[in-house]
A = this chain, B = another copy of it.
Amino acid sequence: MGPLNVAMIGEGFMGRTHSNAWGQVAKFFKPPQKPVKHTVFGMEAEHPEIFAENWGWQNFSTNWEQTIENPEINLVDIVTPNFMHTPPALKALEVGKPVSCEKPIAATLDQARDMAMTAKAKGIPTFVWFNYRRAPAVAFAHQLVKSGALGKIRHVRASYLQDWGGEETPFAWRFKKELAGSGAHGDLNAHIIDMTRFVTGEEITEVAGAIAETFVKRRPIPGTDQFGEVTVDDTVLFLARFSGGAVASFEAARQATGNSNRNQFEINGTLGSLKFDFERMNELQYYDARLPRGVQGWSTILCTHGADHPYVGNWWPDGHLIGYEHCFTNMAYDIIRVLNGLEPTVPVPDFFDAYQTQRVLEAALRSAENRCPVALADVN
């Protein structure tokens, strides 16, 4: 079989992480098919030729439709801003090509449903870059829960806290609802919704209450003496129920001083509990309530044992940490496996998964607005 020719639609920050992943995966893993960085698409003003040169893409393009249609391309990888995910994704599906798309897959629930339903109808593999599933500690948490180590799940607490959104942070497109869709909610809550669905193996069935708040209502426009009006949330909190009966809380924040990137969850089951914090992404906290009571405690598992923890055997020896971008390389490996008919290390989210997450995001916004609980069955 030939190589996997990837076309990346978009550049920017996410373009760097994806380029790195496609470049590193065959060096560290033995994927069943070698990926080739075939073509990168960028707007002319973004100078995709510079990006292509720096990151080793063989070609660049300023026409995304042609790029997707190019018969040499086997996989369309989308890293554009959120509101520009849908057109290239639908185009790729239209011409029958697998798509891997950044999260959240769409700016609106309608778009997300459309993408999910189209992919399903066509039977084309899709992938969504909820990269935190690929942190070895999170993947191992998924495996532990699946093995029954936690028993029946009672509590889920998840929060994704950042602190860059103070009053001095200037106005930018991300503070406009038309362009960004939402604020911290779509950016951060999307991740922890997906991650807790993944680890628990359960669905969220109800949002029982929510708060959306914008603390800083106008921000200075750089280079001017004017202010832009902020039309997205700074923070969204919501309470929810999982299908297995657990109760849950979620929170996304950009002004949680002292939390650079604290993407964290705690899950309590009848037999044990887990805690994860992305600021210590190589560690998983595990409490095993089946041990003799005297030696029960929160155990800090350094998830770097190649024989026991997902992915890490392909990286470095025990006790040698990996970082943020490794999650993307791990995911690239699993995408190639799936495209070649093999099982991924742990499940890879597709458009349908991402649509479920989008439904929860939408339910939380409706709950905050209408000041009432919202059943997921009513959000489609």
Chain A residues proximal to chain B, CB less than 8 Å: 13, 19-20, 23, 26-27, 54-56, 140, 144, 154-155, 157, 159, 161-164, 166-167, 208-211, 213, 215, 235, 237-239, 241, 245, 247, 249, 251, 253, 255-262, 268-273, 278-282, 284, 286-289, 292-302, 304-305, 307-309, 315-326, 367, 371-373
Which residues of chain B are within 8 angstroms of A309 by Cβ–Cβ distance? 294
Say whether, besides A211-B209, A249-B249, A287 and B258 are in contact (CB < 8 Å).
yes
Whether A302 pairs with B297 at a CB distance below 8 angstroms is yes
Q: How far apart are A33's CB and chain B's nearest CB, in angstroms?
A: 15
Which residues of chain B are within 8 angstroms of A259 by Cβ–Cβ distance? 268, 273, 319
Interface centre among A27, A140, A284, A320 (most CB of B within 10 A): A320
Additional A-B contact list (12), CB under 8 Å, known A154-B215, A286-B295, A294-B305: A19-B27, A23-B23, A27-B55, A154-B255, A208-B210, A208-B211, A253-B268, A257-B289, A295-B299, A299-B299, A322-B324, A372-B372
Whether B305 pairs with A301 at a CB distance below 8 angstroms is no
Interchain Cβ contacts under 8 Å between A and B, 29 examples? A19-B27, A23-B23, A26-B54, A154-B256, A155-B253, A155-B255, A155-B256, A163-B268, A208-B210, A208-B211, A211-B241, A213-B247, A249-B251, A257-B268, A257-B269, A257-B272, A257-B287, A258-B268, A258-B296, A259-B319, A284-B297, A286-B295, A288-B295, A292-B308, A293-B308, A296-B301, A297-B299, A297-B302, A371-B372
Which residues of chain B are within 8 angstroms of A54 by Cβ–Cβ distance? 26-27
Whether A324 pairs with B316 at a CB distance below 8 angstroms is yes
Whether A211 pairs with B235 at a CB distance below 8 angstroms is no
Whether A258 pairs with B273 at a CB distance below 8 angstroms is yes
Q: How many copies does the complex hold?
A: 4
Q: How far apart are A189's CB and chain B's nearest CB, in angstroms?
A: 14
Q: How far apart are A162's CB and chain B's nearest CB, in angstroms?
A: 7
Q: How far apart are A330's CB and chain B's nearest CB, in angstroms?
A: 12
Q: How far apart are A118's CB and chain B's nearest CB, in angstroms?
A: 33
Alpha-carbon distance between A2 and B315 when the two chains are bound, in angstroms: 32
Whether A210 pairs with B209 at a CB distance below 8 angstroms is yes
Instruction: Pick from B162, B296, B308, B322: contact of A319, CB below 8 A.
Output: B162
Q: How far apart are A305's CB and chain B's nearest CB, in angstroms?
A: 6
Interface centre among A56, A238, A315, A371 (most CB of B within 10 A): A371
Q: How far apart are A47's CB and chain B's nearest CB, in angstroms?
A: 16
Interface centre among A144, A282, A284, A319 (most CB of B within 10 A): A319
